[in-house]
Amino acid sequence: MKFCVKLGKFAREAYDLLKKVYGDECLSRTHVFDRFKRFKEGREEIGDDQCSGRPSTSKTGATVEKKVGEIVRQNRRLNIRAVAELINIDKETVRQILHNKFNMKIVCSKMVPRLLITEQKEI
């Protein structure tokens, strides 16, 4: 493809040549056009650009232990929405952290460990 760009050929011509030589083993039309465009812009490498990829999750150990844990321990009357806004993460993520990591459940707008809930029912 680089050779075709230097000859001044069009991407369609380069694709046709590659298809003729490699047949079914050829890159897809989209990939050929994309690579052709990159070579035309002056790039020398065929590798993809680095991208940030999928955003990292907010459920890291530091976030769970420090932020969510501290906020809930300081004020158990905060609801999930308030905790999510304070930390700036998704409400569902906060709910999962509290439910799975800290084994807590909402009772009358107060985060209470499940162990206490079962003890109250027995009394």
Q: Which residue has the higher pLDDT, 2 or 49?
A: 2
* Rounded Cα distance, 90 and 98, in Å: 13
- Region 9-18: what's the mean pLDDT? 88
Contact 4, 13 (CB under 8 A): yes
Question: How many CB atoms are closer than 10 A to CB 80?
Answer: 18
**pLDDT score at 81:** 87
100-115 burial by CB neighbour count: b if 16+ within 10 A, else e? eebebeeeeeebeeee
Q: Tell me how many domains the chain contains.
A: 2
17 in a structural domain: yes
- Region 34-60: what's the mean pLDDT? 71
* Rounded Cα distance, 46 and 43, in Å: 8
Task: Choose the most confident range, by mean pLDDT, from 24-28, 57-61, 101-105, 106-110.
Answer: 24-28
Only one residue has tokens 């003729």, namely: 20
At 56, give phi and psi (nearest 5°). Answer: -70, 145
49 in a structural domain: no
* Rounded Cα distance, 45 and 98, in Å: 47
106 in a structural domain: yes
The string of pLDDT tens digits covering residues 62-110 is 656 678 888 888 887 888 888 888 888 888 888 888 888 778 776 655 5
**pLDDT score at 56:** 56
Kindly tell me if the per-residue pLDDT of 31 is higher than 70: yes
67 in a structural domain: yes
Q: Are residues 71 and 105 in the same domain?
A: yes
H-run or E-run covering 113: strand 110-113
Question: How many CB atoms are closer than 10 A to CB 78?
Answer: 18
**Domain span at residue 29?**
2-40
The one-character DSSP state at 101 is: I
56 in a structural domain: no
Q: Are residues 26 and 66 in the same domain?
A: no
Kindly tell me if the per-residue pLDDT of 22 is higher than 80: yes
